[in-house]
Amino acid sequence: MPGKSGLGSRGNTGQPVLGAPSDVLDPYLPDNGNLGFRISRYDLELEYKVASNRLDGTAVLTATSLRELKRFTLDLAGSMSVQRVSVNAKRARYSHRRNKLTITPDTPVPPGGAMTITVRYHGSPRPIRGPWGEVGWEELTDGSLCANQPNGAASWFPCDDHPSAKAPYRISITTDSPYHALANGVLESKRVRAAQTTWVYEQVEPMPTYLASIQIGQYKQISLADKPFPVTGLIPSRLEENFGIDFGPQMDMISAFIEMFGPYPFPQYTVVVTDDELEIPIEAQSFSTFGANHCDGSRDADRLIAHELAHQWFGNSVTASRWRDIWLHEGFACYAEWLWSQRSGGRSADEWARHYYEKLDAEPVKVPLADPTPRKMFDDWVYKRGALTLHALRLRIGDGDFFALLRRWTEKYRYGSVTTEDFMSLAANHSSMPLKDLWDAWLFTPELPPFPTPS
């Protein structure tokens, strides 16, 4: 799908990000993210009426101040109306303009002070428009979905909308009883009361806001496996036969990726297929969403299924600290497509690399992979050049060291935030020769290098 270099990886250093109000966390999305505090948990109590697209919410955010806070901000779309805000059980003044909720506590919060921020709100959620199209909460023909990447989370809950701001979640969603409601994490409880059902999910592993998601539809639940962890499908009944064909290889794919990338990072995995067609699949932490057009019995969506699954390791567990490093998500997931193709009897990774090298060579770009600019960060060349960069690295250091590096990467930074420099540093430990020329050519120079050859 669809930061200042001095900031580094905020999640790794633990250092507060401070500065004047004009400072930004990430110049790729200068209006998103917030300074002066860190959220350590989200508790969302949501009620959604499908027919009227009405969302009522209470968000309780547990946070710690990084400096004295006389006021602070959260990201929240203007389509949501705020009813009440409190900080540490005391009513707080607030203003809500330009997708920012500005909160003034009853008394200033001291440095290191604990905050419980409660926001009651409601509205008709709709996607947020931006350079990458519309992102966020979206109505389906009969239900809804969330596609937040990169800045759509604020369309349905108040948050610190920045990829390095990861936290655990508890999401309670109450909706009309004919509908299945899915959110991130493990289903803790399901309570039916008359015409409504409340679903409560606990997402223990830290999650960035753009991966938080709710999917609502009249779905049939299918079990694909119980071991080594539960894998399920949520699908329209009419697509059950096609689902068995298109997603039949899902468990073999999971086994292959565990072998190549290390242990699966979450307690379970769910595949959702909507009754509507979708232009592209959608990633979320612990599940992926596909359209009916990706489940037609043709097996044509194999690469997309592999791509979204790979994001559970690359993007969801190990998350880029800043959007300029998006190749750490998309390049890795794209290379996983090529690896699965070879494992399943299709073209080899090297054949795919040569195929896409020719395409990239025919359409040169003028910006480097490590800083593709905000408008281009989800362009297809980022995905393909990112995968080619990994292929070049694999040919340089050999298969043994390459896959050991990938497994160490997902282990060392499990549930953490990373930068390109983190990957370069770790790769140096798996190479017997310098890699500077490879990084300069593939990451930091816009021109396409010659096709890589084994060292």
**Would you write out the chain's pLDDT as a tens digit for each of its 455 residues?**
552 222 233 333 333 333 334 456 899 999 999 999 999 999 999 999 999 999 999 999 999 999 999 999 999 999 999 999 999 999 999 999 999 999 999 999 999 999 999 999 999 999 999 999 999 999 999 999 999 999 999 999 999 999 999 999 999 999 999 999 999 999 999 999 989 999 999 999 999 999 999 999 999 999 999 999 999 999 999 999 999 999 999 999 999 999 999 999 999 999 999 999 999 999 999 999 999 999 999 999 999 999 999 999 999 999 999 999 999 999 999 999 999 999 999 999 999 999 999 999 999 999 999 999 999 999 999 999 999 999 999 999 999 999 999 999 999 999 999 999 999 999 999 999 999 999 999 999 999 999 999 98
Give the dihedral of Cα atoms 391, 392, 396, 402; nearest 10 deg: -30
Cα(250)–Cα(262) distance, integer angstroms: 17
- The residue out of 185, 216, 247 marking a domain boundary is 216
Choosing from 182, 216, 250, the residue where a domain stops is 216
Report DSSP state, residue 153.
G
Integer Cα distance of 362 and 382 in angstroms: 15
Looking at the fold, whether 183 and 330 belong to one and the same domain comes out as no
Q: Which one-letter DSSP state was computed for residue 3?
A: -
Q: Would residue 429 count as lying in a domain?
A: yes
Residue-number span of the structural domain to which 183 is assigned: 1-216
Instruction: State how far the alpha carbon of 127 is from the alpha carbons of 76, 79, 108, 135, 155, in Å.
Output: 12, 9, 34, 5, 6
Q: Which of 216, 238, 273 is the last residue of a domain?
A: 216
**For the chain, give me the number of helices (H) and strands (E)?**
10, 23
Nearest alpha carbon to residue 181 among 64, 44, 85, 65: 44
Rounded Cα distance between 164 and 222, Å, is: 34
305 is a domain residue? no
> Is there a domain that residue 228 lies in?
no
Read off the pLDDT of residues 287-314 as tens digits, 9 standing for 90 and up.
999 999 999 999 999 999 999 999 999 9
Residue 112 CA to residue 118 CA, distance in Å, equals 19
**CATH assignment at residue 350:** 1.10.390.10
Tell whether 195 is covered by a domain: yes
Cα 438 from chain centroid (whole Å):
28
If one counts the domains in the chain, the total is: 2
Task: Judge whether 287 lies within some domain.
Answer: no
User: Is residue 16 situated within a structural domain?
Assistant: yes
**Segment 349-393, tens digit of pLDDT:** 999 999 999 999 999 999 999 999 999 999 999 999 999 999 999
CATH number, domain of 179, equals 2.60.40.1730
Does residue 293 lie in a domain region? no
User: Around 88, how many Cα atoms within 13 Å sit in the side-chain half-sphere?
Assistant: 13
Burial 302-341 (b: 16+ CB within 10 A, else e): bbbbbbbbbbbbbbbbbbbbbbbbbbbbbbbbbbbbbbbb
The SS3 assignment for 128 reads: strand
Query: Is residue 307 in a domain?
Result: no
CA gyration radius, the chain = 22
